[in-house]
Amino acid sequence: MNYFSSDFKLGILGGGQLGKMMLTETRKFDIQTYVVDPSAEAPCQFGATKFFQGSLNDYDTVINLGNQVDVLTIEIENVNLEALETLEKEGKKVYPSPKTLRLISNKGNQKDFYALNNIPTAPYKRYKTLPALKIDVENGLVELPFVWKATEGGYDGNGVKVVRQVIDLENLPETECIAETMIPFKNELAVIVARSTSGEIKTYPVVEMEFHPEANQVEYVICPARISETVANNAREIALKVSESFNHVGLLAVEMFQTADDQILVNEVAPRPHNSGHYSIEASYTSQFEQHIRAILDLPLGNTDSKVAGIMVNLVGEEGFSGQVVYENIEKIMAIDGVTPHIYGKRETRPFRKMGHVTIVNENMTEARKVAQQVKETIRVISK
């Protein structure tokens, strides 16, 4: 198949920032892209060969896009799986496969899958309804505190809540959920695994994630993680096992906990480019976005090593600001060596909305972390 400067068309379901960063790579290789997203203002509207507005959950919208392209991929999991299954049956190449997406899109199914495949994960119980969970809590069958997770539709800290006392159950939505044992962990880690259609497989270095205490959002992603080689090797091995069990094609971001006694437990996965891999645009030989394109088109996978230490800072809307976005002091951070801002192209800001990220690269990790702190304290995402 001739992908480059040809009639080949790649379809992407979802036109958000992940799609936008994927389009940087397809444009580099001169690959035609057709993108659909519910928002007319989606970040991908400018970079795609053709951009369509439409619901990703609408059967006909997904079928229509699929029929216009040669290979179909995603930048968000919440898409119409029935349509993808139909397209795949008709011989369309869909990566990751609808089968993989079905396993991953429901967190209850995901946890059951880990248990079935002997993949280490935190103990959990699954509930069809909130009242069923409340009964078990009242009867002492679920120990407080625990982590409540909605099985579907959660993202960026939505659909996840720490239940510390019985009263916390009152504000939870009425939905299928899991109650997960709270793990005292030292670090939250992630490993991105790339797997091509012919089975070539590579892992990126282990990254460490520092979270915002209230928003349950990642504030910093640090590569390489500040952990021992033994723990890093173990994390990469477990990520490979997860990848092979899911039999996915493309990228799989495996989020993990490093426990107090250095065990690795899988938290959850995302079958697409991921926040934990944004550092790779500046810091790696092959960015995660280029790697995803290589994997789904069965091109040789690129080198996953880092050239330098990289830290990514998420740019999220400040509390108390909604409306037309202003990136205050962006020129000040751009004056610092090794600092690259990425602005996603969302015109409207609101509290904690992901609006961009900044990568800091440096030969010295300690120095990179200091600059990351400086960036975080300087730039503000506010509104007019």
More confident residue, 218 or 85: 85
Per-residue pLDDT averaged across 218-238, rounded?
95
List residues forming the annotated binding site.
107, 149, 180-183, 188, 267-268
pLDDT at 62 over 90: yes
Tell me the average pLDDT of the chain: 95
Which fold is adopted by the domain 9-94? Rossmann fold (3.40.50)
- Supply the angle between the helices 98-105 and 229-246 in degrees, to the nearest 10: 120
pLDDT at 215 over 90: no
Token pair belonging to 186: 């030292």
Tell me yes or no: is domain 123-181 CATH 3.30.60.50: no
List residues forming the annotated binding site for ATP.
107, 149, 180-183, 188, 267-268
- Cis amide leading into 224 (omega within 30): yes
Which pLDDT belongs to residue 212? 75
pLDDT at 216 over 90: no
Per-residue pLDDT averaged across 18-44, rounded?
97
Do 207 and 254 meet the contact criterion of CB atoms below 8 Å apart? no
Q: How many other C-beta atoms are found inside a 10 Å radius of the C-beta of residue 129?
A: 12
Q: Cβ contacts of residue 96 below 8 Å, gap of 6+?
A: 73, 74, 248, 249, 250, 252, 271, 272
pLDDT at 210 over 70: yes
127-165 per-position pLDDT tens digit: 999 999 999 999 999 999 999 999 987 665 678 999 999
* Domain spans in the chain, listed from the N-terminal domain onward: 9-94, 123-181, 185-383
CATH architecture under which domain 185-383 falls: 2-Layer Sandwich (3.30)
pLDDT at 271 over 90: yes
325-375 per-position pLDDT tens digit: 999 999 999 999 999 999 999 999 999 999 999 999 999 999 999 999 999
